[in-house]
Amino acid sequence: MPAKYSINLFVVVVVTAISFYPGKHISAQQILPSLKEVFKKDFLIGAALSSMQIYEKDAGSVKLIPQQFNAVTAENVMKAAEIHPQWNVYQFEMADKLMDYAARYRMKVNGHTLVWHSQLPVFVQHMRDADSVMRFFVDHINTVVGRYKGRIYSWDVVNEALEEDGTLRRSIFLETLGEDYIVNAFRLAQKADPKAKLYYNDYNIEQPLKRAGVIALVKKIKAAGVRIDGIGIQGHWPYDAVPLQYIEESIQAFSSLGLETMITELDLSVLPGPWESNEADINKTARWNERMNPWPDALPDTVAQIQAKAYASLFTLLLKYNQQVSRITFWGVNDGQSWLNDWPIKGRTNYPLLFDRNSLPKHAFYSVIEIKRK
């Protein structure tokens, strides 16, 4: 019998036997190996949490999350549109809940994200004068970072500030505040919370051109005498084209600048992409067609096995750099919650994570665990 069935059959047999033991009910998830335990000497293992998961209302993952992860990122609740919807109006309830949840389970929180051109509150989107943008910018960073001072582990201070060619993205911040907005964002965050780790986060920065743009940013921040602690490579890759060599080169390059590297939004999409390049800009979308949604009911085992090998190869590389890589965060817990079900095409069925729609482990989960047992 192929290994994959024997492992799952073993889990079923053990759980069934235990569940007949009087007064003892253990779910299949509870006897799983734990990612955070398996990699505890290597790097933090995190997940992006939805509002439902923060409120522990996602029944399938309530036990799984604290069992598997020792770091959490707010998928959405700390973004400006959610936390600062109007001038002088902040909505901290959800972010406070995340902080309390993480404290309860002794998880490190990565705040995502202070300065991003996307998900801006409506009152900012229409701003055109530098004074107003600057007032929002300073007030937002000081208020949000100040609220969690000394409690939050790290911040994605600036997210996705680069174009694919490594030049600065023409955002509202660049156009009104000038190039120094990035240095100023890190300066403000450093002052507002001297203890929090400060990161730059972006997608495709394993690619040489965009990597060069990150290096230029880091040198500017350091030359200004401002602190930056690490770089987040988001890690939204196709399962059949994970750019391992480029990832390795970026880890080496960022490490040579004295920075930690993280994979901050890891998911390996199994669906066809509508574009040649590996895109991850949430604001770009594509049109529906059947060919783009090949497996609406279930992921073929052959594809799941290839995805498992891709995850194993990636983790093997990251383990090789466990002194330089400080955290690996999955962009979601289970396939059902992934943003990739609705981007770049709405209403698809994607399978990018380690746990399926019932929050049960896929081949990819076991393949990642297994590389530490070799």
* Site of interaction with ligand G3I (CB under 6 A): 75-76, 79, 119, 159, 234, 265, 280, 282, 339
Contacts of 203 (CB under 8 A, 6+ apart): 160, 233, 234, 235, 236, 265, 280, 281
CB of 78 to ligand G3I, least distance (A): 10
Q: Please give the distance of CA 206 from its chain centroid, rounded to a whole number.
A: 15
Cα distances from 246 to residues 142, 219, 318, in angstroms, run 36, 20, 12
CB of 18 to ligand G3I, least distance (A): 36
CB of 350 to ligand G3I, least distance (A): 12
**Which two structure tokens, joined as six digits, stand for 149?**
């001072």
Calpha distance 10→8 (Å, rounded): 5
Q: Are strands 154-159 and 108-116 parallel, antiparallel or unpaired?
A: parallel
Task: Yes or no: say if 71 and 110 are a contact pair by the CB < 8 Å rule.
Answer: yes
> Which phi and psi angles does 203 have, rounded to 5°?
-100, 160
Calpha distance 141→326 (Å, rounded): 24
**DSSP structural state of residue 26:** -
Catalytically annotated residue among 75, 206, 260, 265: 265
Calpha distance 288→106 (Å, rounded): 42
Q: Measure the N-to-C terminal CA separation of the chain; round to a whole number of Å.
A: 21
Which residue number, 11 or 282, has a Cβ lying nearer to ligand G3I? Answer: 282
249 is catalytic: no
CB of 282 to ligand G3I, least distance (A): 4
Which residue number, 6 or 86, has a Cβ lying nearer to ligand G3I? Answer: 86
CB of 207 to ligand G3I, least distance (A): 16
Cβ neighbours, 10 Å, residue 109: 25
Catalytically annotated residue among 160, 206, 260, 279: 160
Q: Are strands 325-330 and 44-49 parallel, antiparallel or unpaired?
A: parallel
Q: For the chain, how big is the Rg over CA atoms in Å? A: 21
Calpha distance 263→372 (Å, rounded): 18
Calpha distance 97→94 (Å, rounded): 5
CB of 263 to ligand G3I, least distance (A): 12
Active site residues: 160, 265
